[in-house]
């Protein structure tokens, strides 16, 4: 039996104080990962003494997209992201990723911060944020530090979060110029479906050339990473010279290099190639449409 005491923080300061003072504290945001794991009596909780409910901390809420800088509070739910008109307009791939998560009930409770800190290999928030080169702001009683989302996640279910830290918010620069995006996900059913493979493509075009590009894997690799080979194939290339099939092939190769041959590889290889091909296709079509 996992036994713990439930604490509730009413301000960020208080929460950070508790984290600094006490050992073996696990934060509770939406609870959609934590409560499930507690119910399963997951052995990783053998050491827990406290569950700290942070769900009412105003300091961790809100979506703020400025002209250049964007801030998303860690308690922002996936439903908040979908409903935000700014997100829909400026960062549609984030809304797409959020839409693909769980079910209505889950999206109403589950937070983006919880998704990142839980850091499952199939967590759907990573690839859009890594494509944006976003950073997490980690707060403790001693101050704040920033870390790129990419460096924040160390391995499946392992992050750089220290025991006295909270994930406060996610910050990134809004992409400028003409940029296009695509979010792709394959699951075993149409809702409540864990990603088999997902990915985000975010690219900027300047005079018929790829000026900036990020193709980032979701569930295809143990931790979400940009596909370096694909990115270097696409970068600076004239749109007319891009072969989406080739991009797909490169992505699949790169995935297998990272993961090795696994039981799922015979499926994931062609499926990932196809998803990347489609994402690149979408990108090229959108770029062509907007001239």
Partner 1 sequence: MAFKHVNKGVKRVDAYEKVTGKAKFGADLEFADQLYAKVLRTEYPHARIINIETAEAEKMPGVRGVFTAADIKNNLFGVIVEDQQVLAADRVVLAGDGVAMVAAESEAEAAAALEKIKVEYEELEGIYELDEARKKDSLKIHPEKDDNQVIHHPLRKGDVEKGFAQADIILEREYSTQLIEHSYLEPEAVVVVPEDENHLVSIYGSIQNPYATRAAVATVLRAELAEVRVIQNHIGGSFGGKDEVVSAMAARAAVMALATKRPVKMVNSREESFTESYKRHPYQLKYKVGATKEGKLTAMEIEAAADSGAYACQTPFVTWRSVVQATGPYELDHVKTDTYGYYTNNPYTGAMRGYGSPQIIFAQESLMDELAEELGMSPVELRKKNIYRQDSITASGQKLSGHTVSLEEVMDKAMQAIDYQAKREKYSLAQPDDKKRGIGLSISFRGCSLGAEAVDAAASLIQINKDGSVAVYSGLAENGQGLKTIFSQIAAEVLGITLNEIDYMEVDTTFTPDSGSTVASRATLIGGNSIKNAAEKLRDRILDFAAQKFELAKDKLKLEAGFLYDQASNRLALFSDLTAEMINNGILLSAYGWYKGPPISWDEEKGCGNPYFTYVYGCQIAEVEVDTGTGELTVLNMAAAHDVGRAINPKNVKGQIYGGVMMGLGYSIMEEVEVEAGQIKGKNFHDYMIPTIKDMPDIEAVIVENPDPDGPFGAKSIGEPTLELASAAIANAVAHASGKRIRSLPLNLERVLIGRALSKGGCK
- Residues near partner 1 (CB under 8 A) are 1, 36, 103, 186, 188-192, 194, 196, 263-264, 266-267, 270-271, 274-275, 277-278
Q: How far is the CB of 137 from ligand FAD (least distance, A)?
A: 10
Pick between residue 59 and residue 281 the one whose CB is nearest to ligand FAD. 59
Q: Supply the minimum distance, in Å, between the C-beta of residue 143 and ligand FAD.
A: 16
By beta-carbon proximity to ligand FAD, the closer residue of 106 and 160 is 106
CA-to-CA distance for 280 and 243, rounded, in angstroms?
A: 8
- Least distance CB 218 / ligand FAD (angstroms): 9
Q: Which residue is nearest to ligand FAD (CB)?
A: 114
User: CA 31, 32, 38: angle at the middle one, nearest 5?
Assistant: 70
Residue closer to partner 1 by CB (options 113, 244) is: 244
Q: Residue 186 touches which of partner 1, ligand FAD, none (CB < 5 to 8 A by kind)? A: partner 1
Nearer to ligand FAD, 34 or 284 (CB): 34
Output phi, psi for 223, to 5 deg.
-125, 150
Which of 134/276 has CB closer to partner 1?
A: 276
> Rule CB under 6 A: which residues touch ligand FAD?
26-34, 36, 54, 60, 74, 101-102, 106, 109-111, 113-115, 117-118, 123-124, 161, 166-167, 192, 194
Q: Which does 254 bind (CB under 5 to 8 A by kind): ligand FAD, partner 1, none?
A: none
Residue 112, CA distances (Å) to 59, 129, 135 in order: 15, 10, 13
Instruction: Compare residues 76 and 181 and give the one whose CB is closer to ligand FAD.
Output: 76
In whole angstroms, the minimum distance from the beta carbon of 30 to partner 1 comes to: 16
């Amino acid at each position: 039996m996992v036994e713990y005491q439930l604490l509730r923080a009413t301000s960020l300061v208080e929460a950070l104080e508790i984290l600094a003072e006490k050992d073996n504290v696990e934060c509770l945001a939406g609870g959609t990962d934590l409560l499930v794991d507690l119910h399963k009596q997951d052995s990783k909780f053998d050491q827990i003494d406290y569950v700290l409910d942070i769900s009412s901390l105003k300091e961790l809420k809100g979506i703020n997209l400025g002209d250049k800088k964007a801030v998303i509070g860690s308690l922002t739910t996936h439903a908040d992201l979908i409903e935000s008109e700014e997100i829909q307009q400026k960062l549609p791939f984030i809304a797409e990723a959020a839409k693909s998560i769980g079910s209505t009930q889950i999206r109403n409770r589950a937070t983006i911060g919880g998704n990142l800190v839980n850091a499952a290999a199939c967590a759907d928030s990573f690839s859009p944020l890594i494509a944006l080169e976003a950073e997490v702001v980690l707060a403790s009683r001693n101050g704040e530090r920033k870390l790129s989302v990419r460096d924040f996640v160390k391995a499946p279910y392992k992050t750089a979060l220290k025991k006295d830290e909270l994930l406060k918010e996610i910050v990134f620069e809004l992409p400028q110029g003409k940029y296009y995006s695509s979010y792709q996900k394959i699951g075993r059913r149409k809702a409540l479906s864990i990603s088999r493979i997902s990915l985000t493509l975010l690219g900027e075009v300047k005079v018929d050339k790829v000026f900036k590009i990020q193709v980032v894997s979701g569930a295809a690799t143990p931790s979400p990473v940009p596909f370096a080979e694909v990115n270097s194939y696409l970068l600076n290339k004239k749109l007319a010279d891009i072969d989406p099939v080739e991009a797909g092939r490169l992505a699949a190769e790169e995935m297998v290099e990272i993961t090795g041959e696994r039981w799922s590889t015979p499926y994931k290889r062609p499926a990932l190639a196809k998803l990347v091909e489609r994402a690149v296709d979408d990108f090229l079509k959108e770029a062509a449409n907007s001239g």
